[in-house]
Chains A and B, each alone.
Chain A
């Protein structure tokens, strides 16, 4: 970020001000926004150097890199906001390789007229999330688009991390007989977002599960370095992510419905909207596939971590040329758990 050392004659009016085109023009106004808002909340040594890039030493071994664009409506929701989500989402994408996330970058697309107070809230939340996770935002970029061409703020974050020696985690390594583990209840994030949208107005006490999971992953990898697959079931939910893994590995899966943790509020909201919680998004859960003999140890380790308290073994990998993810229903029958088709739309029939 092009932070300027010299102070500005008039402080940024965060309380009443709004983003305008000059904040992205590369001039003094942009420099002031960066210094008085972005650097203030995301502060760290590398960012303070005010270069267009962050320089850091690399260790030997395998590095991973991941990027994620964040667009969400509403920007603020119970349990988080677009800022914390942008930090957690990318940390999780890096961590799902088994890596220790090290640094983040952040690119902001701001819409003209977006209140600076809201921007401050978002950036402050990002700062807290990054500090909490111990993964600093070390470089960034800001652009402004005309009113009507954005939705307040879009944030793209990129993360880098290092994979410990001997860890080889990939979506194509699931083998028949493997156990499928889930770190906790599904659907919390998606239901929170839907309940915050005006036209579906219903009330719940549920909060987004948005969280950085690299600590949980570190515990798991330390206990069982030979984990086969890790993935966070975000968009498309648990069902879609399991189908992705089944396809990548060329296997099928059999789940047991009564082992999948779902909060009662999530079940109720989904019944109301005609949705299936298995397809609703999560932002703080992970799926782990491992050899059956490792499942018990991993389950214990997961349940000892605050982000895996409700972890469960939800099924197993099977040999299936069709690559079906099937489920034994709690009712005693069988069904397929297919890919999500189209968008999850509330329905009346």
Chain B
């Protein structure tokens, strides 16, 4: 696979196109060369020192809801 993790952007350096991201309590410098319009507070998916994509909070919520709904179909089983 490609090991990639969602991390929160804590600061952006526009001149170098780099950002500091936080994964929980761990901070790391990553390149923003592959993404556009990243703001402090956004979550980005990081892989080999690069942000690959923004993570959509709305979609994450919807997926979590899907889990809960799927679970409901199993309720009442012996």
Query: In the complex, is A directly touching B at CB under 8 Å?
Result: yes
What sequence of 0s and 1s flags, for each residue 19-30 of chain B, a beta carbon within 8 Å of any chain A beta carbon?
000011111110
Chain A residues near B28 (CB, 8 Å)?
201-203, 272
Q: Are A348 and B23 in contact (CB under 8 A)?
A: no
A29 to B77 alpha-carbon distance, docked (Å): 82
Task: Tell whether A239 is near chain B: CB-to-CB under 8 Å.
Answer: no
B3 touches A274 (CB 8 A): yes
A267 contacts the other chain (CB 8 A)? yes
Q: Which residues does chain B contribute within 8 Å of A322, judged by CB atoms?
A: none
A204 touches B47 (CB 8 A): no
Binary interface encoding of chain B residues 25-53 relative to chain A, with 1 for a CB under 8 A from any of its CBs, else 0: 11111000000000000000001100000
Task: Kindly state the interface size class of chain B when it binds its partner.
Answer: 10 to 19
Q: Identify the closest chain B residue to A347 (Cβ).
A: B3
Q: Report the separation of the CA atoms of residues A264 and B27 in the bound assembly, to the nearest whole angstrom.
A: 13
Answer whether residue A58 sits at the interface, using C-beta atoms and an 8 A cutoff. Answer: no
Please state if A201 and B29 are interface contacts (CB–CB under 8 Å): yes
Nearest CB in chain B to that of A273: its residue = B3
Number of A-B contacts (CB under 8 A): 40
**A206 vs B25: C-alpha distance when bound (angstroms):** 9
> Which of B1, B23, B47 counts the most chain A CB atoms within 10 A?
B23
Quick check: is B64 within 8 A (CB to CB) of the other chain? no
Contact of A264 among B3, B24, B48 (CB under 8 A): B24
Inter-chain contact B47/A203, CB cutoff 8 Å: no
Residues of A within 8 A of B5 (CB): 271-272
Contact B25 A205 (CB under 8 A): yes
- Please name the residue on chain A nearest to B47 by beta carbon: A348
A85 interface residue per 8 A CB criterion: no
Pick the residue among B1, B23, B29 that contacts A268 (CB under 8 A).
Answer: B23
B72 contacts the other chain (CB 8 A): no
User: Are A202 and B27 in touch, CB under 8 angstroms?
Assistant: yes
CB distance from B15 to the nearest CB of A (A): 19
Give the distance to chain A from B33, nearest Cβ to Cβ, in Å: 17
A201: chain B residues at CB < 8 Å are 28-29
A residues with a Cβ closer than 8 A to B are 195, 201-206, 264-265, 267-269, 271-272, 274, 347-349
**Which residues of B does A touch, CB under 8 Å?**
1-3, 5, 23-29, 47-48
14 other contacts beyond A202-B27, A272-B26, with CB at 8 A cut-off?
A: A201-B28, A201-B29, A202-B28, A204-B26, A264-B24, A264-B25, A265-B24, A265-B26, A268-B24, A271-B5, A271-B23, A274-B3, A347-B3, A349-B3
The 3 closest A-B pairs by CB, nearest first: A268-B24, A203-B27, A265-B25
